[in-house]
Structure 1
Amino acid sequence: MDNTRSPYVAGAFYPDDNETLKDDIKSYMAINTPELEYKKLIGVIVPHAGYKYSGHTAAYAYSIIKKNKKNTFLIIGPNHYGFPSYPATYSNGYWNTPLGYARINSELAEKLLLKSDIIRDDKEAHTVEHSIEVQLPFLQYIFGDNFSFTPLILGNQSAAVARNIAETIETLAEKPFIIISSDLNHYNSYDKNNELDQILINDIIEMKILNYYDDIKKYKLTACGYGAIATLMAVTKQQKGKIALLNHSNSGDYSSDKGRVVGYSAMVAYK
């Protein structure tokens, strides 16, 4: 199929075998999710580590998505390499995973490019980034090929960039469901990492964006998609919504290594 991005981390972050991948996701999705009353769902925050570490937590967010009526998604994640610095989308075509082809929503991509003065179309920026790719098998498991998505990765994750993207999203007549791809803190001891994660979680729930950025600097917090998270915070504030925690864990919960762990959260923005 022309203009198709091949999987970059299949076989590493998640299984590269179709049946094994489906079985793994099915096992993660067999959870009892918290009851949540809402009129409208705005988006979720999900981790993007290897499935064996973060898939259990990601499933809490995808259980909410499964109940959602929308099947158009804007997936925002960090560019772990920091280059290019501008927000980059992939405006048309397909992304491939072991579960098939996921279609880019080119109409949404074009609207973002038209309405934002900082977002650029740059397919090359996505070739070696995993934060968005790892979300697709969950969506494919839930929706098959009956969904579309627009990827957006952030090099510069400043508050100004987050605000620009949030304001751009607010100009859209029909707003997509927003999936924010980010892990939380990295490589502290089990208890210390949980302590630092709680600072982030509290700031996200309170939606105090400047305080959130201040705490990132003050406590040297290392959530890799902090700017993507700030974007959802800004969108949720604009829509007078709330953000709630569905689940929190870290890699030490699924590994014998509790000396250097990575934190994960599933959170939901709603009205």
Structure 2
Amino acid sequence: MPNVAGMFYPAEPELLVRTLDEMLGRARVHVEPPPKAVIAPHAGYVYSGPVAASAYAALRPLAGRIERVVVLAPSHRVAFRGIAASTAEAFRTPLGDIPVDSEAIEAATRLPGYPATRLPGYPATRLPGVGYLDEAFEGEHALEVQLPFLQRVLGDFRLLPFIVGDANPETVANLLDTLWGGDETLIVISSDLSHYHDYATARSLDERTTARIEALDLHIGHDDACGSRPIRGLLLAARKHGLHAETLDLRNSGDTAGPRDRVVGYGAYVFH
């Protein structure tokens, strides 16, 4: 069952569709070529939804073409080392079930002759630091809030969901390289930016972080973005694959739905 439907986004399907369509309709973006990867925020839709919509509106040309989506989100509730995969066969939102590409996940992470890896205390695997830890997904919102946007924009696809704990950029980049695929595969990184500064300070910090993302500069810490670990891994993989980053939107909760004395920053970025 969804963790945060009815809290971070509407639980009633018709209202959720209207909410998504309104946000996507206001996001007037056109990106060429279509993105291989995006970074989108993960707060409640009233706060970060309009910014996330900019990233997802850029994916409209990919509807019907994307077969699988790799989503990496930071862990907010469970502390662990490495990257966690899920043993679930599907992830559910009010818009329906999304099948998990379990075979692709297992093929990418298991060495022949080894049992399925579990974090922590995992044995040697094809990708050290990657394994199964269902607890990391329990109550976690950062991955879930991306799913209704993906369903509404792309239609049917298979999901490869991962929660990133204490993992270095190389570990994240190795996973992304393994699952990179071709035009049928999309990568989504879930992250907000700075947290709980006044409006002017947040703007300054988030503009600095945005400049580093655009430069594929790995000098981004947890204070800059709660998803700094998956972001740095994507930046490293983007260097290898010759991708360029483009900023589509940069705002904070003071711009969308909240006071300006204590804001959270949000950015929408595409890589192509």
CA deviations on 1:230-267 (whole Å, 9 max, x unpaired) are: 12111211111100001111011122411110011110
Identity of aligned residues (%): 32
User: 1:109 corresponds to which letter in structure 2?
Assistant: I
Partner of 2:207: 198
| 2:56 partner SS | helix
Instruction: Give yes or no for the alignment of 1:31 onto 2:18.
Output: no
The alignment status of 1:76 with 2:72, answered yes or no, reads: yes
Residues 95-135 of structure 1, C-alpha deviations (whole Å, 9 max, x = no match): 11111111111122113313312110222221121111111
* Aligned positions of 1:14-25 closer than 5 A: 14-25=9-20
Work out whether residues 47 and 182 of structure 1, in 8 Å CA contact, stay in contact via their aligned partners in 2: yes
The secondary structure found in structure 1 opposite 2:76 is: coil
Give 3-state SS (helix, strand or coil) of 1:110's partner: helix
Correspondence list, 1:88-103, <5 A: 88-103=84-99
Q: How many correspondences in the alignment?
A: 255
Trace 1:242-253 onto structure 2 (pairs within 5 A).
242-253=244-255
How far apart are residue 23 of structure 1 and its match? 0.6
Matches of 1:117 and 1:173, distance apart in 2: 24
Is 2:38 the partner of 1:41? no
Distance 1:256 1:41 in 2: 31
Q: Aligned ranges for residues 229-268 of structure 1 at < 5 Å?
A: 229-268=231-270
> Contact 1:91 / 1:150 at 8 angstroms: preserved in 2?
no
The residue aligned with 1:139 is: 150
Matches within 5 A, 1:116-127: 116-127=127-138
Match of 1:108 among 104, 110, 127: 104
3-state DSSP class of the match of 2:264? Answer: strand
Alpha-carbon displacement from aligned partner over 1:20-42 (angstroms, at most 9, x marks no partner):
1111001001035343332x632
Query: Is the 1:132–1:181 contact (alpha carbons within 8 Å) kept by the matching residues of 2?
Result: yes
Q: AA paired with 1:43?
A: A
Residues 100 and 36 of structure 1, relative CA distance in 2, 3 Å threshold: closer
Letter in 2 for 1:228: P
Task: Give the superposition deviation at 1:222.
Answer: 3.6
Q: Matched residues in 2 for 1:57 and 1:87: separation?
A: 26
Residue 166 (structure 2) aligned to one of 138, 156, 165: 156
Task: Tell me, in whole angstroms, the C-alpha distance in 1 between the residues paired with 2:241 and 2:38.
Answer: 15
Measure the CA separation in 2 of the matches of 1:265 and 1:173: 26
- Cα gap change, 1:193/1:73 in structure 2, threshold over 3 Å: closer, same or farther? same
Contact 1:81/1:155 (8 A) holds in 2: no
Structure 2 equivalent of residue 227 of structure 1: 229
Task: Please say if 1:185 is aligned against 2:166.
Answer: no
Match of 2:120 in 1: none
- Amino acid in structure 2 at the alignment position of 1:225: G
Where does the alignment leave 5 or more consecutive residues of structure 2 unmatched? 111-125
The equivalent of 1:11 in structure 2 is 6
Q: CA RMSD of the aligned region, Å?
A: 1.9
**Higher helix fraction: Structure 1 or Structure 2?**
1
Q: Distance in 1 between matches of 2:167 and 2:41?
A: 17
Secondary structure in structure 2 of the residue aligned to 1:227: helix
Give the direction of change, closer, same or farther, for the CA distance of 1:173–1:34 in structure 2 (3 Å limit).
Answer: closer
Query: Matches of 1:254 and 1:125 in 2, distance apart?
Result: 29
The farther-off stretch of 116-125 and 194-203 is 116-125
The corresponding residue for 2:50 is 56
Q: How does the TM-score come out when normalised to structure 1?
A: 0.87
**Counterpart in 2 of 1:67?**
61
Kept after mapping to 2: 8 A contact 1:185/1:262: yes
Could you say if the C-alpha distance between residues 267 and 82 of structure 1 is closer, same or farther in structure 2, counting changes exceeding 3 Å? same
SS of 2:189 mapped into structure 1: strand
Q: Over residues 63-120 of structure 1, what are the superposed CA-to-partner deviations in whole Å (9 max), with x where a residue is unaligned?
A: 1222122231000010113522220011441111111111111122113313312110
